[in-house]
Amino acid sequence: MENKAKELLLELGMASEETIIPFYPRARDREDIEILRDRKSGVIFLSKTDHMSVSHYDEIDGGTYWGGKTRDEALKLYHDDDIRRSEQFRSLIEGKDVIDIGCGTGALLDYWKGVAKKVDGVEPQEYIRKELQALGHTVYHLPQDAPKEQYDVATLFHVVEHVIEPLAVLSRVRETLRPGGIVVIEVPHARDALLQLDSFKAFSLWSEHLILHTKESLHALLERAGFKNIQINGFQRYPLANHVGWFVDGKPGGQNRRPELRVQGAEEAYEKILKESDQTDTLIAIAHND
pTM of the entire predicted model: 0.95
pLDDT digits (tens, 9 = 90+) for 116-125: 999 999 999 9
The predicted pLDDT at position 12 comes to: 98
The identity of residue 268, as a single letter, is E
Nearest to 176 by CA among 149, 153, 152, 154: 149
Which residues are CB-neighbours of 170 under 8 A, at least 6 positions away? 160, 183, 221, 222, 225, 227
The predicted pLDDT at position 245 comes to: 93
118/104 Cα distance (integer angstroms): 18
The predicted pLDDT at position 56 comes to: 65
The predicted pLDDT at position 24 comes to: 99
Mean pLDDT for all residues in the chain: 94
The predicted pLDDT at position 63 comes to: 55
pLDDT in tens, the chain (290 residues): 789 999 999 999 999 999 999 999 999 999 999 999 999 999 999 999 999 876 667 666 655 566 667 888 888 888 999 999 999 999 999 999 999 999 999 999 999 999 999 999 999 999 899 999 999 999 999 999 999 999 999 999 999 999 999 999 999 999 999 999 999 999 999 999 999 999 999 999 999 999 999 999 999 999 999 999 999 999 999 999 999 999 999 999 888 888 888 888 899 999 999 999 999 999 999 999 98
pLDDT digits (tens, 9 = 90+) for 41-69: 999 999 999 998 766 676 666 555 666 67
